[in-house]
Amino acid sequence: MALIILFWIFAILLILFIVSLLVVGIFFLIKGNQNKMKNLIVIGIGFIAMVIGFIGSFVFNLGFAFQEVFVFIGFVLLVVFTNMTFYKGRKSKAKVVLIVTVILGAIQLILMTLHTQFSINTYYFRVTLDVPYTFLVFNWMAWSSYSAYQKIKNKNIQPWIKVRYKLVAFVSFILSFNNISEYFQPVGTTWGDPDNLISLAVFGTTAVISVIFAIGFSLAWMMPNCLKKFFNRNYQLLDEKEYTEEELMNLIREQLANRNN
């Protein structure tokens, strides 16, 4: 009975993660369209693509191969977002990260096809490559956000803006380790099976880490005014200027570019 209760708690957390991704994805699409910012539109499409994959797999039983296709689209677009946001117009390792992400994602699709079409057991090999795949996508976002924070932390910029990049760096770094738990998933057992403690633990770990990312990322980009005021409580405002999203992005890119000159 206790395991079944845990299963439903973890399931609710996973649903919260998916709903949060959808809400943030729609928010980015609207915000990007309003401000003519392609990078926000890109990440909005990426999040919505992953939501389609999760819903197709978990709700309509279309299988993990279906899910993997949309996760691949989402991961690639997340890297594109990171590159456009932090490295636009600069020669850097950003293109290398994108190429490696595409290669690792393509391998995942091939291995998933081998498993579903030819019943070839590729689980542990797939997980071995899935770990660096996920780590690269989200750790790249974490590192880029942290680098942005390091560059602006001593600047006369409103603290809530600095908190945004710290928060994105933290939750992205946490999520980059999400797939490690898959090593412990018993082969042949349904993911999250309430009758299998190990499988349930893997499911729970994934759900908790995912929802931490979803909540943190949502707060970073859709921060309520009350939180902005809280973080700004000791800030001496030199002017009344309110940065637009585009101005913030340009400021971050400029500071990062100056660091590398």
Query: How confident is the model at residue 68, as a pLDDT?
Result: 95
Span 28-55, pLDDT tens digits: 999 999 988 999 999 999 999 999 999 9
Would residue 239 count as lying in a domain?
no
Residues 6+ apart with CB under 8 A from 258: 151
Span 127-173, pLDDT tens digits: 999 999 999 999 999 999 999 999 888 887 889 999 999 999 999 99
Q: How many domains does the chain have?
A: 1
- Find the domain containing 115 and state its range: 2-232+245-255
| CATH number of the domain residue 226 falls in | 1.20.1070
The pTM of the full predicted model, rounded to 2 decimals, is: 0.91
> What are the helix (H) ranges across the chain?
2-35, 38-58, 64-86, 94-118, 123-152, 159-175, 197-221, 225-231, 245-259
Nearest to 79 by CA among 38, 43, 126: 43
Would residue 238 count as lying in a domain?
no
Would residue 129 count as lying in a domain?
yes
Residue 46 CB neighbour total at 10 angstroms: 24
Residue spans of the chain under pLDDT 50: 261
Distances (CA, A) of 207 to 2, 153, 169: 17, 32, 19
Would residue 6 count as lying in a domain?
yes
